[in-house]
Structure 1
Amino acid sequence: MPAPTYPHVGATETGELPPGWRHVRHRVRLPDSCFPAAGAAILGWRLHRAAGIRIDADADRAAPGVRVVSRLGVGPLRLAAPCEVVWAVDDGRRAGFGYGTLPGHPARGEEAFVVSRDAADRIWFEVVAFSRPAGWLMRAAGPAGRAFQHAYAWWLGRTLRRLCARP
């Protein structure tokens, strides 16, 4: 079984991202009643599917060790991104997971998707990631690749807000 393609496995769980890597942190407020639906959407892959990402996972729910291939694009232009869930949480205050890249992914690194309650019981969705290019495609993308990562995090937040409005 292939191992993750980066050394800092689990760093998105603590939020202490490694220096020298590209970082993404995107946080959006969700409606106060949204926690159960948002957690289920994240852990059950519904968020990604609703955002237009094709997900092929070897389990219906994110959990450590679950392998997933995200596919973005159309036909022969579809880009496959294999990952493995390296941590997951569902404890009433936080629900979500982090997955790390496997060989064949265009980047190296980790990305997390978490809904949480703060001390005032406000509900937040956050995407946290660190990455580096793994091959020529991401290197060639340069600033456009970085912009895509931020736009993707924004799009997931928008999609989750929409899912919360229509459970």
Structure 2
Amino acid sequence: MIGRKSYSAAELTYPDQRLTRLGRAPEGYRVVRHRVAVGSGREDFARLADGILAWNLHRVAGLRVDPSTPRAAEGVDVVSRFGFGPLRLAAPCRVVWAAEEPDRAGFGYGTLPGHPASGEESFLAVLGADGQVYLELFAYSRPSNWFYRAGAPVTVAVQEFVTRRYLAAARKLAAGT
């Protein structure tokens, strides 16, 4: 399991790291950005924040994450798996930043060798001043090799499908269902 293996920063598969924390993306990457209201109040925020940091957002969205994977914190490695049966694709990543603040909690992770994409993605629970709870999802990526570039339309469709699943999962987590 990658969650226990240590990687060096040089093993991340893209040069511009930690930009999701700033809401920026480098040139030449496909960008996905969503801010969606998923609940209201401090309890919904706390449930969503914990769900993001404990990898439950991924699990509820239909990805497999090894139960022994540590809570998201800078330097934690994770492998999420997507697909069915033997057609399950592994996506190894490393958390490059994490935040646990009173009104903002989440993390950003970057791709490691073996991931079908190259780039970074972040997941944040935000409690707005108006009491609304938001999921902020931001990503920049491009195919990791010629094989995935050749299948770019399929790759984009899968990314969009998984993003919709994350948004639905955030609503469930915030509601406690």
Give the TM-score, by structure 2 length. 0.87
Q: Is 1:136 aligned to residue 150 of structure 2?
A: no
Shift of residue 12 of structure 1? 0.4
Say which is worse superposed, 96-105 or 113-122, in terms of deviation. Answer: 113-122
Aligned to 2:24: 16
Distance in 2, matches of 1:165 and 1:57, equals: 22
Aligned to 2:61: 51
- Structure 2 residue runs without a partner (length 5+): 1-6
- Structure 1 residue runs without a partner (length 5+): none
Distance in 2, matches of 1:106 and 1:117, equals: 33
Shift of residue 147 of structure 1? 2.7
Q: In structure 1, the residue corresponding to 2:161 is in which secondary structure?
A: helix
Q: Is the 8 A contact 2:80 2:92 kept in 1?
A: yes
Shift of residue 57 of structure 1? 7.0
Aligned to 1:32: 40
Q: Is the 8 A contact 1:57 1:68 kept in 2?
A: no
Shift of residue 143 of structure 1? 2.3
Sequence identity percentage: 48
Shift of residue 58 of structure 1? 6.1
Distance in 2, matches of 1:95 and 1:35, equals: 9
Give the TM-score, by structure 1 length. 0.92
Aligned residue pairs total 167
When the two chains are superposed, the root-mean-square deviation of aligned CA atoms in Å is 1.6
Shift of residue 21 of structure 1? 0.6
Q: Is the 8 A contact 1:66 1:84 kept in 2?
A: yes
Distance in 2, matches of 1:94 and 1:71, equals: 27
